[in-house]
Amino acid sequence: MQPILEIRDAVRVFKTPEGGAVRALDGVNLDVDANEFVTLLGPSGCGKTTLLRAIAGFEDLDDGQVRVDGADLRRVPAFRRPVNTVFQSYALFSHMSVARNVAYALEVAGVGKDERTRRAGELLELVGLEGMETRKPSQLSGGQKQRVALARALISQPKILLLDEPLSALDRQLRQQMQVELKNLQDEVGVSFVFVTHDQEEALTMSDRIVVMCDGRIEQTGTPREIYRKPKSRFVANFIGETNMIKVTFDGKGTATSVEGIILKVSEAAPAGRATAVLRPSDLTLSDSKNAPAHAILGKVRQEIYLGAELHYLIEADAGGEYWRVTAKDEGVGFHTGQSVALSYDPDVIHLIEGDA
Amino acid sequence: MWGPPDMKRFLKPGWLLLTFYSLIFFSFIYLPLAVIIIYSFNSNPMDMTSWQSFTLDWYRGLFGLAEVGPSLGTSAIYVESTDQLLKALRNSLIVATTTTIISTTIGTATAIAMTRFRFRLRNAYQGLMMMPMMMPDIVLGIGLLIFFVTLGFKLSLLTIIIGHCTFLSSYVFIVVQARMAALDPALEEASADLGANEWVTFKKVLMPQLMPGIVGGAMLAFIISMDDLVITYFIAGTDSTTLPMFIFSMLRRGVKPEINAIATLIILASLIIAVIGLYLRTRQVE
């Protein structure tokens, strides 16, 4: 099946005030399938918003192509593109009622008043704002504005909905609720969503596929699990969730040694050479050093952080190096600062990023 | 919701001082206006500053409804000046209305262009837009006069309108630009995103959003144009006396009680305009 959105070798260069040039997009290739929820994830300045704006038509590409449904959108102005956007600031028209905001696309397209009222009502119901038709945007809460923006962007049944950090202005609780609602809404309306965020948790929660971007390039594309479990680079491993990363050398026989002398047991399939071993904090198990399992890392507790359901520990390995982060369930017994402990792990869950980098 | 006011708070020396200062301040601004209004009803024709009795004669006289008794001149002067007054008022209204329409259009368009587009010499252009505002009136007046004479313009209402537009466009520009700068650029993008071309976006989104600024700028332009004396004085033809020029020439023949009446009417007109403007603003801003 043909992807609904194809981006080919997209390049966008911005001039800096100092006379230099920044490649905001540096050869980006991306396909989005119909009905897919794709998240563009990366730190600020990585090009994710530029890419979104290029799809919407607010930004021209210096090179490359944006195709929607096979049609090249070069020189197609924003107002003729079959995509709609939910803006970070919501960009609701404050001089119009909620209903008129939602029906704006229909009003512009010359749809009759009765039909507009009916459709606006449907969309408001879809986002759970029945009865708010006559309100002004200034009379809505942040979450409600968000929903109006969504309804407004969905009313003309776009092929792709673009969302530019739409949840960043909401408080944490509302944000988590909206994440679930957004995902459900996407399933319901059957539109492809391209969602931009710098929040990795948001990306993991909602996406079918995550595109991690850095410096105008795509670092890795994959399902949330792939991105979390099998990061292709140190950048991705670092950006998605907390990580323990340690540079090691393999002997090719299932043993890896770090610069500090920590010895890790790894899968025997790993070839000899240098790599970075990635271990998530939840992959490590803490036990008392007196009955340490084989191949465990020995160390001392340096800090314990109690978070209710979870406990976070910082462990300093006896061999030195960076502190290890460990997450444990609160099972009544904790380990106190200064205590000698052993870190054990399943050799098969250690993810290896090959190479020196 | 509110409890009884805490009187002690208002009796503190700081509060008393502040209240006193406020009273002085507002008296300073509004007493001269109050004096004009009160003496416009004073029947003493010889000495305006001593109160005789209440009269509406000066108002009637303005509109030719009453022979105003001989004061310093003969009654013939007043009857004649009623026609002149109405003509001057008409001229001023023509000038102010036309100027407001033209300068609001130019100022608004410039403000939008300056905020939305980046182009070469943009800063220089911005500076040039501000210049007429900084320029002393008298310099602007002389400059315009020389300009018109050199180009062979006959001085008339048209030259006044052109002259006023040169600097009032700047005023509108400043006011609308402030509003424009505060506007979320995403509003226009959202409109385009939802299928509106630039004209529809301007009509349905930009104009309504800018309206408080446009109304404010237009009112400012209208009032300044109505009020201007110095620049107008240079570029008005013999046949195109405006209201401020008329009042000024009346004053030169001595301060007459009718001037109080004219001034009171102008104050009234300004108040009405201001109230309409405020009403429109509160309706637009939500």
Do residues B182 and B221 share a domain? Answer: yes
Domain, as residue range, for B20: 7-62
Q: Please report the pLDDT score of residue B231 as a whole number.
A: 93
Q: Say if the Cβ atoms of B193 and A138 lie within 8 Å.
A: no
Interchain contact A285–B (C-beta under 8 A): no
Minimal Cα–Cα distance from A337 to chain B, Å? Answer: 51
* Mean pLDDT score, B193-217: 93
Residue of B118, B193, B282, B285 to mutate, testing the A interface (most A Cβ within 10 Å of its Cβ): B193
Whether A260 and A186 share a structural domain: no
- Helix H or strand E segment including B273: helix B257-284
Q: pLDDT tens digit string along A127-162? A: 989 889 999 999 999 889 999 999 999 999 999 999
Assess whether pLDDT exceeds 60 at residue B244. Answer: yes
**Arithmetic mean of pLDDT, A240-264:** 83
The DSSP output letter for B70 is: P
Q: Which domain holds residue A305?
A: 244-354
Distance from CA of A86 to the nearest CA of B (A): 8
CB atoms within 10 A of CB B232: 26
> Facing residues of A277 across strands?
A246, A352
pLDDT at B76 (0 to 100): 41
> What would the two tokens of residue B78 be?
């007043």
pLDDT value, residue B43: 82
Q: Are residues A108 and B196, on separate chains, in Cβ contact within 8 Å?
A: yes
Name the CA radius of gyration of chain A, rounded.
25
**Residues B54, B82: one domain?**
no
pLDDT for B253 = 72
Indicate whether A92 and A110 sit together in one domain.
yes
Distance, CA of B206 to CA of A343 (rounded, Å): 62
Disruptive mutation site among B118, B187, B194 for chain A (greatest number of A CBs within 10 Å): B194
pLDDT averaged over every residue in chain A:
89
Percentage of residues in chain A having pLDDT higher than 90: 51
CB-based contact (8 Å) between A104 and chain B? yes
pLDDT single digits (tens) A101-126:
999 999 999 999 999 999 999 999 99
Domain count, chain A: 2
Inter-chain contact B192–A79, Cβ cutoff 8 Å?
Answer: yes
Which two tokens mark B177?
Answer: 């630009």
Rounded to a whole number of angstroms, the distance from the CA of B183 to the nearest CA of chain A is 10
Q: Is the pLDDT of residue B77 over 50?
A: no
- Per residue in A301-351, pLDDT tens? 998 888 888 888 999 888 888 889 998 887 777 788 888 888 888 888 888
Q: For the segment A81-100, what is each residue's pLDDT rounded down to a tens digit?
A: 999 999 999 999 999 999 99
Asked if residue B13 and residue B139 are part of one domain, the reply reads no
To the nearest whole Å, the CA of A79 is away from the closest chain B CA by 4
Q: Given a cut of 70, is residue B285 above it in pLDDT?
A: no
Smallest CA–CA distance, residue A149 to chain B, in Å, is 10
Residue A281 pLDDT greater than 60, yes or no: yes
Q: Mean pLDDT of all residues in chain B?
A: 85
CB contact under 8 A, B286 and A153: no
| DSSP code of residue A79 | G
Same domain? For B237 and B95 the reply is yes
Element (H, E) at B60: helix B57-62
Q: Which residue of A has its CA nearest to B189?
A: A58
Contact A89 B184 (CB under 8 A): yes
Nearest to A298 by CA among A245, A340, A333: A340
A9 φψ region: left (φ > 0), alpha (ψ -120 to 50), beta (else)? left
Chain B residues with beta carbon closer than 8 angstroms to that of A93: 187, 190-191, 204-205, 208-209
Length reported for chain A: 357
Return the exposure string of A148-174: e unless at least 16 CB atoms fall within 10 Å of the residue's CB, then b.
bbbbbbbbbebbbbbbbbbbeebeeee
Q: Which residues of B touch A52 (CB under 8 A)?
A: none
Q: B283: helix, coil or strand? A: helix
pLDDT, one tens digit per residue, over A22-76 is 899 999 999 999 999 999 999 998 999 999 999 999 999 999 999 999 999 988 9
Angle, vertex CA B172, rays to CA B167 and CA B175, nearest 5: 130
What b/e string do you get for B111-150 counting C-beta neighbours within 10 Å, with b at 16 or more?
A: bbebbeeeeeeeeeeeeebeebeebeeeebbebbbeebee
Q: What are phi and psi of A316, to 5 degrees?
A: -100, 120
Q: Is residue B206 part of a domain?
A: yes
Residues in chain A within 8 Å Cβ distance of B190: 85, 87, 91-93, 152
* Whether A78 contacts chain B with CB within 8 A: yes
Q: B47 and B97 share a domain?
A: no
* Per-residue pLDDT at A357: 53
Distance from C-alpha of A284 to C-alpha of A307, rounded to nearest angstrom? 17
The band of B238, judged by pLDDT with boundaries at 50, 70 and 90, is confident
Kindly give the pairing relationship between strand A160-164 and strand A192-197: parallel
pLDDT tens by residue, B259-273: 888 889 888 988 888
**A77 contacts B196? CB cut-off 8 A:** no
| Residue B263 burial class via C-beta count within 10 angstroms: exposed 0-12, middle 13-18, buried 19 and up | middle
| Contacts A104 to B, Cβ<8 Å | 191, 194, 196, 204
Note the pTM of the prediction, 2 decimals: 0.80
Examine the domain organization and report whether A223 and A270 are in the same domain: no
Please state, in angstroms and rounded to a whole number, the distance separating the CA atoms of residues B154 and A65. 61
Cross-chain residue pair A87–B186, CB shorter than 8 Å: yes
Q: What is the mean pLDDT of residues B70-87?
A: 59
Asked if A89 is an interface residue toward chain B (Cβ–Cβ < 8 A), one would say yes
Nearest CA to CA, how far is A203 from chain B (Å)?
A: 24
Q: How far apart are CA B62 and CA B259, in angstroms?
A: 9
- B152 & B275 share domain: yes
Instruction: Inspect the interface and report whether the beta carbons of B193 and A136 lie closer than 8 Å.
Output: no
Comparing B29-33, B77-81, B106-110, B253-257, the range with the smallest average pLDDT is: B77-81
Looking at beta carbons, which residues of chain B come within 8 Å of A163?
A: none
Segment B24-40 mean pLDDT: 91
Does the CA dihedral A324-A330-A331-A337 come out positive or negative?
positive
Q: Structurally, how many domains does chain B consist of?
A: 2
Report if residue B165 sits inside a domain. Answer: yes
Q: What value does the mean pLDDT take over residues A254-277?
A: 80
Which domain CATH number covers A146?
3.40.50.300
CA distance B143 to B151: 12
One domain for residues B33 and B163: no
What ipTM score was computed for the predicted complex, to two decimals? 0.84
Has residue A292 got a pLDDT over 50?
yes
The Cα of A198 is separated from the nearest Cα of chain B by a number of Å equal to 20
Q: Model confidence over A196-240: pLDDT tens digits? A: 999 998 999 899 999 999 999 999 999 999 999 999 998 999 888
How far is residue A100's CA from residue A98's CA, in Å, rounded to a whole number?
5
Asked whether the predicted pLDDT for residue B86 surpasses 70, the reply is yes
Of A223, A238, A253, which one is at a domain's C-terminal end? A238
Distances (CA, A) of A48 to A35, A55, A194, B166: 20, 11, 10, 46
Which CATH number goes with the domain that contains A260?
Answer: 2.40.50.140
**List of chain A residues whose C-beta atoms are within 8 Å of the C-beta of residue B209:** 93-95
Strand partners, A67: A6, A72
